[in-house]
Structures are given as C-alpha cells and as structure tokens.
Amino acid sequence: MVIINDFNIKKQADELGISVWKTPSFLFIVMGIVVMAAMTLVYFISRDKSSPELLILSEIIVVIVIMSIGNSVIQSVEQIAKVNKMKSDFISIVSHQLKTPPTEISWEIELLLAEYKGELNNKQLEIISSISEANRRIVKLTNDLLDVARFDQGRFILNKEKINIAEIIREVIQNNLIMAQANNVRIEFSNNGTIPEIIGDKKRIGVVVDNFLTNAIKYTKEKGKVGIEARQQGDNLVVSVKDNGVGIPESQKDKVFDKFFRSDNVVKYNTEGSGLGLYIAKKIIESSKGKIWFDTKEGQGSTFYFSLPIMTEA
C-alpha cells in the first residue's frame, strides 16, 4: 500500500503543488523506461560488430538523456526542499509573533477577575469566560504550529522525567470539564490497580492525552460518554480514550495521523480544529519510543491508544 501511494503521481503533484511531469515519481518512472529502452537498443546495436560508431553514438545519446532527466529530478527535489523550508520558517515566525497577544490577554483576564470579580454580574462573567475560552484555543493553535515547525526543522526536544500518568489524565479531564458539560458528554476514567510510572516528557504526554480527549468530546453525540483507561500490559503502559461518536470513514483511516487531516464526516458538526492534534500526538509518542494506534467504525465511535515503556528500576 505504501509503495502504491508513493507512485500516485496525481496525488503527489497536488500535495507538492507542482506539475505532474515534475514530480519525482513521474521522473523516476520515465528514467526507468529510458534506461530499459537504452539497454535494449544498445544490445541490438552491439550485435552489429561493423558499426562501432553507431554504438558509441547511441551510448552518448543515452547518457545525455539520463543526465537531463536526472537534472530535472534534482531540480524538483531542490524546489520541494526550498518550499518546505520557507513554509517551516514562515510558520515558526508567525507562531512566535502570535504567542505574545494571547499571553497578555490571559494576564488581563486574571487581573480583571482578581480585582473586580465580586462586582461583575453573571452576564459579564459569561462574556469573560467566552473570551478566555477563545483565547485558550488561540494559544493551543499557536503551540501546535510551533510544534509542527520544530518537527519539520528537527528541533523538537523531549524532557525525561518520572511521570504519573493518572495525575496527567485527571488534570486533562479537569481542564476539559467545561467543554464536556457544554456538549452534554460524560467523562469516565478507570484504571486497573496501581499504575506504574513511566519516563517521558510530562507536558508533551499531557498534550497527547488532551488531543485524544478533546477530539472524543467534540465528535461524540449528545448525551454520550467518553471513557479513559490506563493499564499495564507487559512492559508497557497503555492509555486509551474511547467515544461513541461519529467514527472515521474506512476510506480515510490511513490519513488519520496526517498533518492537517480532518475526516469528511465531521464537517456537519461545525467543530473547530486545525487537523494537527493527532499528527502531533503521533510524533510525540514515537519520539518517546512508544506506539500509537486506533480502532474505529463510522457511526459508532473510535478508540485511540498509545503505549509507553514502563520505568524499570536501575
């Protein structure tokens, strides 16, 4: 399947924003055809021992054609590399510039609530809460874009520390209670006995759990339930987030962890999202020497999992 996708020339051209005949896959195929044709031609010409000049000429032509195609391949790859670098640099610069205003807004909201909360009526508090939630979404999007830029530039760094996954899960649940209540979704957390500690980046693992949970809440039917479970499985700790939401179409399962992907069946829910959450989650877990996967059925819901190695005694 991977090989077929690599040679889907039209798809590759659309993704890279270049002409079909400039895609590396197309040029690779053309080069292969030319090489095979040239080998066949040289074989037949070489049988005629009386025409050494023709043999030399044919070899020169073959070399020129191959070098021309090779040069086109190199130029295409260079063009793609330059565009990717420009994109990463742009995202990084814009994201850094976007971080300052939301931070200042958060400080102003905290100051306002600290000094005037007793003087504000319910309507005013509701407005402030809406502003705070909108600001939180901007901060999350900015952080996601910065993480993507770090991935693309090879500058993504993970800290190593002892992690109590149960504490992280409870904190993430607490941070998402308002959204769950607004969507009339119930969250349940269960764990089988004592959960062993793991080594990893506490903040980043929290991002993974948060991405799983927010997706589950957003796409779960009203009066639905989201279940979170943490359990030991051999030498690994497995965390799962299960919902009874819209699920993912069979035809789009292989795109779930792609950058900016959002499945077609979520459009009717009018939910906001960048399509970066699961892409980032996959990068974090794999960089932490873990695994990430999912089960889903359209119309019935999804379960997303990740596993990480359990901390061993030195």
Residues 188 and 151: beta-carbon distance below 8 Å:
no
Residue 4 pLDDT: 41
CA distance linking residue 230 with residue 232, whole number of Å: 7
Structure tokens given for 211: 């991405």
Record: fold of 161-309: Heat Shock Protein 90 (3.30.565)
Does residue 260 come out as left (phi exceeding 0), alpha (psi in the -120 to 50 range) or beta?
left
Counting as low any pLDDT under 50, the low residues of the chain are 1-6
Tokens for 226? 């989201």
pLDDT of residue 13: 66
Angle (deg, nearest 10), helices 52-116 and 122-153:
150
Per-residue confidence (pLDDT) for residue 18, from 0 to 100: 60
